[in-house]
Amino acid sequence: MSELLPEGWELICGLEVHVELATKTKLFSGSPNRFGDEPNTNIDPVTLGLPGALPVLNEQAVELAMRIGLALNCTIQPCTFHRKNYFYPDMPKAYQISQYDQPLNIDGHLDLPGGVRIGVERAHLEEDTGKSTHIGGATGRIHGSEFSLIDFNRAGVPLVEIVSRPDIRTSEQARQYVSELRAILLAIGASDAKMEEGSMRCDANVSVHRVGEPFGTRCEIKNVNSIRALGRAIEYEARRQYDIIESGGTIRQETRHWDDAEGRTHTLRTKEDADDYRYFLEPDLVPLVPGDEWIARVRTNLPMLPAARRSRLATATGADVQGEAVSVIVERGQDDYVLSVGEAGGDVARALVYVQQAFAEEPPTPRVPSKDIAALTVMERDSKVTSTQAKTVLAEIVTNGGGDPAAIAAAKGFEAIDTSEVEGFVDQAIAADPDAWQKFCNGEQKAMGALVGMVMKASKGKADGKVVTAILNARRG
């Protein structure tokens, strides 16, 4: 951040993240909640806002929203639904049923992997709109289009809007917040949280100020469709605001649109154009009062969260808790599997690497029995196979859904070769290309590749690359 804003300036950011809940049916009707179906097939009188239709709250949606609240350390409270009134063609009733002054979840927090705590102001339930596609016109927006198509399959899909406090100070923290939130949502099964499919959407409120002075006027950035875009949009916006202030201007409170291709934001609407939503209590619904017993049951059924799982895995494997291997394995849900390799007598540190490299396409509980992986880690540790050979054996085990690594190694003619034998191959290589040896001795690391290559060729790949390197370095002195 130091190069983004000069010393003494600070970025202030709060995020509003919308996630579609992974329910069977919609928030207020029995139509399926399913992505990718034929347009306008998952509809009914409630979804279309037909005259006389009435909403009935989906219990599963409430339960998933409570899970989110508990995972984010929120307090669950008795709550109500309001109508947010505005006209838009893909909003069937011309109002959205949302939660206003009494949301379901309040006052939580999310700890970033680096330890920074970001407050969560609220996480409330609301319904999604339909999806408009504007045909013709240059911008793909409703203005200037020839006609518009509306798909109401998405209308009424349950959303939880998670509103952070303005505790985020860098674009990196914003990225971490969203990716940690995503990991939590996946872990608790609340949402598939795919930003590219729109089941997770993120708006950023950004302002800048001089440290010690009150917060600046904020702008809300919409249309941020990936975690990478989020970081870029925040950085662009902070710099834009700083430049305006530094050149004597003032920031106008407005909603801005992130254009990922152009790499900039531009005005969508100013505060003056903002709709007056005329919120009032939704008279078609009654207050939602989750009982203590229900809350306790949801809490009990909450799985171990990613942060706890990462720290468990890091402790067991000795890997960096903030490292890629640990976070990837936990995100895939394969940490239990890695640990089970240890329980089967294997080397968990090697298992972590194997699973990270070879199990990307595998489910959280891979088909390969953990004892097979355990056996392979032991073979590599004991130098029964080289790391290159181990990789080959591993690939075959994964393809076949299991197998005895010793038998596979034997069938492939993989066997341990003595260090003394490797020494002989090294002698031959130096003799064959003294020029390369000289260059290597002069500090040209490139030359080492040629020497190692010759040893590998002579040993038919059975020499361990690490051993060859060690011998060469030792010889050079």
Name the site residues for another protein (rule: CB under 8 A): 45, 48-57, 83, 85, 87, 89, 92-95, 142-143, 148, 150, 276, 278-280, 283-286
Specify the pairing of strand 158-164 against strand 9-20: antiparallel
Please, which residue, 39 or 424, has the CB nearer to another protein? Answer: 39
Give 284 or 418: the residue with its C-beta nearer to another protein. 284
For residue 18, report the phi and psi dihedrals to the nearest 5 degrees: -100, 130
Between 46 and 451, whose beta carbon lies closer to another protein?
46
Decide whether 156 or 366 has the Cβ nearer to another protein.
156
Quote the crossing angle between the two packed helices 348-358 and 387-400, to the nearest 10°. 60
Give least dist CB 13 to another protein, A.
27
Q: Is 342 helix (H, G, I), strand (E, B) or coil?
A: helix
Contact between 304 and 330 (Cβ < 8 Å): no
3-state secondary structure 308-369: HHHHHHHHHHCCCCCCHHHHHHHHHCCHHHHHHHHHCCCCHHHHHHHHHHHCCCCCCCCCCC
Beta pairing, strands 280-281 & 147-151:
unpaired
Q: How far is the CB of 132 from another protein (least distance, A)?
A: 10
The smaller minimum CB distance to another protein, of residues 137 and 369, is found at: 137
Closer CB to another protein, 35 or 279, in the complex: 279
Give least dist CB 280 to another protein, A. Answer: 6
CB of 177 to another protein, least distance (A): 31
- Residue among 69 and 92 whose Cβ is closer to another protein: 92
> What's the min distance (Å) between Cβ of 283 and another protein?
4
Q: Which two tokens stand for residue 363?
A: 């489910």
d(CA 179, CA 224): 14
- Taking alpha carbons only, the member of 13, 410, 457, 381 closest to residue 233 is 13
Length of the chain: 477
Min dist CB 260 to another protein, Å, is 26
* Shortest Cβ 67–another protein spacing (Å): 23
**353: which residues sit within 8 A by CB, 6+ positions away?**
325
Report yes or no: 185 and 191 within 8 Å, Cβ to Cβ. Answer: yes
Nearer to another protein, 53 or 458 (CB): 53
- For 52, list phi and psi in degrees, rounded to 5: 90, -15
Closest CB 56 distance from another protein, rounded Å: 5
